[in-house]
Amino acid sequence: MPDKRLIDYITKEELEGYTPKQLRDHLVKQGWKPLDVDEALKAVEMSKKAKKLKPAPKPNTVVKPKPAVKSITKPMTKEIKAQGYTKSVIPKSKSSVNPVKPKPIAKTVAKPVAKQTNVLPKPKPAAKPVIVQGGIKKRNPWIVLLLSIITFGIYTIYWLVSTTLELKNSTKSAPNPKLLWLLLIPFVNIIILIMYYWKYSSAINELTGFSKAGLFVLWIFLSPVAIVLSQMELNKKVM
């Protein structure tokens, strides 16, 4: 059995211009069961058909005209009670005859673009050049010492010339290897050798930080130890 409250409500709101679909959706949202709403809508529809099938009025009777339906629908502000609690009726949109006016689109205010300046960014300072020690050949210091002993010092002179040329590419204090030719001159060779050992020790110190004075003393009194230490320090700078 359809709910009489629903039938009365639907009948009244249809006169205000609402369609059955709008009424059904609204009532379902308000908490009414879809089955109850559908039954009430069917009852209202059958009631309208029954009214149409009534016999025409007699000729002598005057039929009062029905008041015209207002084009502007009023919002539903009444409250209907359903299933033991109060349901608030939210105003629905107007019928298709009087569509709801769309809300104006909010205008987006564009932010002002920052003025471009002609100031160019400062260039980054160029990186300082890094001096790389190159051209140092790696040798086994013990093999160098062994060859120097076997050749009675001849390999020592060859090794000194080779390492001096390598030091000249990486340092400023390396001696000139041509000075070793003066070793052939008696008495002069001692002075030349002392000067050569001092400059050679200075170049090793400039390249590796090894003690200049300590290495020079070893060259004068313990040349085999000086050869091994010098080659070990040079091997640290091999690229």
Report domain extents, the chain: 4-55+68-88, 141-235
- Cβ atoms of 161 and 177 closer than 8 Å: yes
Helix (H) or strand (E) holding 79: strand 79-82
- Cβ atoms of 144 and 231 closer than 8 Å: yes
pLDDT at 145: 94
pLDDT along the chain (239 residues), means of 10: 78 79 82 82 81 61 58 46 46 46 50 50 48 72 94 92 91 88 83 91 92 93 93 89
- Cβ atoms of 220 and 194 closer than 8 Å: yes
Under 8 Å CB-to-CB from 84, ≥6 apart: which residues?
none
| Per-residue CA distances from 52 to 46, 60, 80, 102, 104 (Å) | 10, 20, 29, 38, 44
Whether the full predicted model's pTM is greater than 0.85, yes or no, is no
pLDDT at 79: 45
Distance CA 100, CA 79 (A): 23
- Half-sphere CA count of 11, side-chain side, radius 13 A: 14
Distance CA 6, CA 39 (A): 9
